[in-house]
Amino acid sequence: MLFEKSRIMSAVAALVMMAGAAHAGTFPDYGYQPPASYTGPIFQLSQNYPKTLPTGPLPAFFKLLPPKLTNDFEQWRVYVDAVKKYCLEGNVESDWYVQNNKVRNWYHAPWQHYGPLGREGIHGLTKEAQIQSKQLAQTQITTGQTFAVGIYNDIGGYTIGQVWKDPQNPDPSVTSQPNSFHNGTVVCKPLFADVDLKQVPFLVNPVLWQAYVTDSFDSANREIKNVALIQMDFAIRDTRIPGTGWIFGTFQYNGQITGKPSWDNLVPVGLMWGNDPENTGNDYTNKQPTVTKINPTIMETAINAKTSELPPTHLGWNGRLDGPVDNPVSACLSCHMTAESPQLSPMNPTFQAPDKVPPVGSKEWMRWFQNEPAGKPFDTGALSTDFSLQLAGGIQNFYDWKCTQDGVFVQGGNACQQTKNKLKLMKSITPPAKVFKVERDPSLNQLH
């Protein structure tokens, strides 16, 4: 009996070690290891987070912020070009194995490895939303799938490290009012598409990555495939920005720009710093684009109007900013504004049962299109992860894992059943009157 108990306890210890470390890091690097036939580089989580808040100068592009926040994109072009350079510098040369970047330090958010959408082991890509038919171009008649990897600069990496300072008890109060990500935080995220490239004209001369991904969106089977760079998003914490304190932007790939595979083929779609909460129209929503429909009444988004650069794209709800593989009835800030722990509301008003979806433009719909300040929770009873869906998703993944490991404890049950004091993040003390159970449906999920 003693021998059996010892054997079980050894197995428990092994499970804990496996769950907490890979490549001697605190957090696992990835969830899906490529087959033995693959002999190339392997993804490693950049997790040596700064222990103190970096005190050096802010990124140089901060000096290029236009004196007036305008929906004229040309007033933003120099700023956006500088952001692109900041995201790419040293990362292109290291093939986005960011721990090898010789220009500046970048970090990943932990706990993206877990679950069916989790990180694959070649480039650390997580699975995101399905690409719908004709979402990218009229000639795109088949569906596809999207994968992405996000990185944080040293200022953002410090905050990630503080949230996860105790790896067994992540603390989202670090990013919730009166706290938030610190001024100067930069997040960059390239996205890759698994789609028939012949059907998408702007994906000519593609930048391709190998990745160990599902063979189709509805499948759990994985294989090594080539996926094509299609989009790169960025988010910038800037305390000078009224309302939200954040700027979000995105680039779209256009292989005709240089005539060869190159990260230089990323052209700006635009950027946004607010959700235009007074604008309730729907005339410019454009789910299957033949042109880019720019709404001149949207004042807190600036869209690139140069058709020689930007291929036809759908944008977000009523012309707010979104990228080509994003939800055309959402917007970058709108989606990210819901980031919280626990996640009590869906990321978009349409991500609910049909009878729960409010009328487009109604007061209930516009809840998702307000200008909430950095660090403010979307719901009473939750803590904000300050526009970071990766941070929110990682915490949720951690507790999903912690509360479903049946049989790990000798006494039986799982971590949540074992604790007498209910985990604060699993059930809020003062939940809103109507709490939605948010199922992370892969067809709707967009972990930015």
Range in 17-31, 44-58, 75-89, 121-135 the model is least confident about: 17-31
Domain boundaries, the chain: 2-336
> How high is the pLDDT of residue 447?
34
Q: Is the pLDDT of residue 65 over 70?
A: yes
Which residue would you say has higher pLDDT here, 426 or 50? Answer: 50
For the residues of 250-274, what is the DSSP string, one character each?
EEEE-TTTTSSS-GGGEEEEEEES-
- The predicted pLDDT at position 315 comes to 98
pLDDT of residue 402: 86
Is the per-residue pLDDT at 328 higher than 70? yes
pLDDT in tens, 185-211: 999 999 999 999 999 999 999 999 999
The mean predicted confidence, pLDDT, of the chain is 88
Q: Is the pLDDT of residue 276 over 80?
A: yes
Confidence of residue 411 (pLDDT cuts 50, 70, 90): low
Query: Looking at the predicted structure, is the pLDDT value of residue 18 above 90?
Result: no
pLDDT at 404 (0 to 100) = 78
pLDDT at 21 over 80: no
Tell me the longest C-alpha to C-alpha distance in the chain. Answer: 75
Instruction: Please report the pLDDT score of residue 431 as a whole number.
Output: 37
Q: Is the peptide bond before 116 cis (omega within 30 degrees of 0)?
A: no
Q: List, in sequence order, every residue forming a beta bridge with 191; answer none if it has no partner.
A: 148, 231
If one counts every other C-beta atom within 10 angstroms of the C-beta of residue 119, the result is 26
One-letter amino acid identity for 225? K
Helix spans in 138-203 (H)? 154-163
Using only C-alpha atoms, the chain has a radius of gyration, in whole angstroms, of: 22
Share in percent of the chain as helix, strand, coil (round to 5)? 20, 15, 60
Residue with tokens 């504004």: 337
- Whether 215 has a pLDDT exceeding 90, the answer reads yes
pLDDT at 381 over 70: yes
Whether residue 299 has pLDDT greater than 70: yes
Percent of the chain with pLDDT over 70: 85
For residues 412 and 317, the model is more confident at: 317
Is the pLDDT score of 433 beyond 50?
Answer: no
Residue 418: predicted pLDDT: 53
Of 204, 186, 187, 188, nearest to 196 (Cα)?
A: 204
Residue 415: per-residue pLDDT: 57
Which pLDDT score, from 0 to 100, does residue 417 have? 58
Mean pLDDT calculated for residue range 158-169: 96
Model pLDDT, residue 227: 98
Contacts of 261 (CB under 8 A, 6+ apart): 205, 206, 207, 208, 255
Q: Residue 371: pLDDT band by 50, 70, 90 thresholds? A: very high
pLDDT (tens digit, 9 = 90+) per residue, 101-156? 999 999 999 999 999 999 999 999 999 999 999 999 999 999 999 999 999 999 99
CA distance to 3, 165, 227, 349, per residue, from 322 (Å): 59, 33, 21, 16
The token pair at 116 is 């069916």
In the predicted model, is pLDDT for residue 19 greater than 70? no
At residue 409, the pLDDT reads 52
Q: What angle do CA 97, 99, 103 make, to 5 degrees?
A: 100
Mean pLDDT confidence for 60-73:
98
pLDDT at 407: 43
Model pTM greater than 0.85? Answer: yes
Mean pLDDT, residues 157-162 taken together: 98
Q: Distance between CA 326 and CA 289 in Å, rounded?
A: 13
